[in-house]
Structure 1
Amino acid sequence: MNLKLEACTLNDAAQLAELRVLAMRPSLERIGRFDAKRARQRLLQNFSTEYTRLIKLDGMLAGFLVLRPQDKDLLLDHFYLHPDFQQRGLGSAVIELVLAEADELGKIIHVGVLRDSDANRFYLRHSFVLREVGEFDNYYLRYPQADSRRCD
């Protein structure tokens, strides 16, 4: 598996908005809240190439994530894989890279997840802890981990 996180450009915005719609559709339909236009707008209204990374697998666009600073912490604002790349271990490989980066920086990661989404189990498996339950979303934290292999 040739996995890379790459910088994006403004030209990627529309394609990433469509990818978000594809990835979110099943979860939003389950709760009766699917609105493709709103799903696109949520991404595009705060789109920033500075914090957005393309997830490429063997050179193909498999997904993207947005990891932005929030106070002294990090906010995993978006993390989506195209449905064709889900359930293959790619999400776990990507989140491990993000967690290693946060650990290196000593930063807490915050993430909000649709309450009825399968992503809730994903984040719990990757050492996130539930902080708050909202009307539609669950909010998680992941504290930095010490690397027992590191020698200081």
Structure 2
Amino acid sequence: MSISFRKADQEDIYFLLALRKQTMDEHLLAAGLEISEAYHLSRIKEFYQDSNIILSNDQVIGLLKLSVLKKSVHVRQIQILPEFQNRGIGAKVVELVKQRAEKLNLPVTLNVLLKNPAKHLYTRQGFKVVGQNDLEYQLKWVGQPSQPTASEN
């Protein structure tokens, strides 16, 4: 299975709205949060410049919203169409994020709703819970620091 990414553009909004409803409504309701279309659209548009469409064998299957910050690579959202879940795609996406973070010598951070089973994916991938509030867990993954090459010494 080939996984690739492309930057989201304005024409992806309707796909992202449908994707968000399919993947998040249940978890948002469980957390007592709003699930209106306006709320979904506001969350989709937030940090839209960091939105990447996930493709599997050139088929659009999800979203990775990823921000490279000064102190971490922050996963804002990973959403995969239900028919593509439980196939290892989420784990592959997380692994690719971790590889990018290692190249940048940064940890990976993310937040996940308390009742969202995706937390298990992240803990299996080596993330540790570093905080919690009434709504979500804060998780962090710290890779191996890069060793300087002889030319960098």
Which residue is equivalent to 2:11?
11
Runs of at least 5 residues in structure 2 that lack an aligned partner in the other structure? none
What amino acid does structure 1 have at the position aligned with 2:115?
D
| TM-superposed deviation, 1:116 | 0.4
2:29 matches 1:42: no
- SS of the aligned residue for 1:99 comes to helix
What amino acid does structure 2 have at the position aligned with 1:41?
S
Which residue is equivalent to 2:144?
145
- Would the aligned equivalents of 1:7 and 1:52 in 2 still touch at CA under 8 Å? yes
Deviates more, 1:137-146 or 1:78-87: 137-146
- 34 and 86 in structure 1: CA distance in 2 versus 1, 3 angstrom threshold: farther
- Would the aligned equivalents of 2:8 and 2:52 in 1 still touch at CA under 8 Å? yes
Deviations 1:38-89 (A, max 9, x none): 23321213311xx221111122111010111223211101111011111111
1:1-152 residue pairs with structure 2 within 5 A?
Answer: 1-37=1-37, 38-48=39-49, 51-146=50-145
Count of residue correspondences: 148
Compute the TM-score of the two structures, normalised by the length of structure 1: 0.86
| TM-superposed deviation, 1:108 | 1.1
- Would the aligned equivalents of 2:66 and 2:75 in 1 still touch at CA under 8 Å? yes
| TM-superposed deviation, 1:34 | 5.0
- Would the aligned equivalents of 2:27 and 2:116 in 1 still touch at CA under 8 Å? yes
Compute the TM-score of the two structures, normalised by the length of structure 2: 0.86
| TM-superposed deviation, 1:146 | 4.9
Deviates more, 1:7-16 or 1:139-148: 139-148
- Would the aligned equivalents of 1:52 and 1:64 in 2 still touch at CA under 8 Å? yes
Bigger Rg over Cα: 2
- 147 and 70 in structure 1: CA distance in 2 versus 1, 3 angstrom threshold: closer
Aligned-partner Cα distance in 1 for 2:28–2:8: 26
- SS of the aligned residue for 1:35 comes to coil
4+ long deviations beyond 6 Å: none
| TM-superposed deviation, 1:7 | 2.2
| TM-superposed deviation, 1:142 | 0.9
- Would the aligned equivalents of 1:21 and 1:40 in 2 still touch at CA under 8 Å? no
Percent sequence identity over aligned pairs: 22
Runs of at least 5 residues in structure 1 that lack an aligned partner in the other structure? none
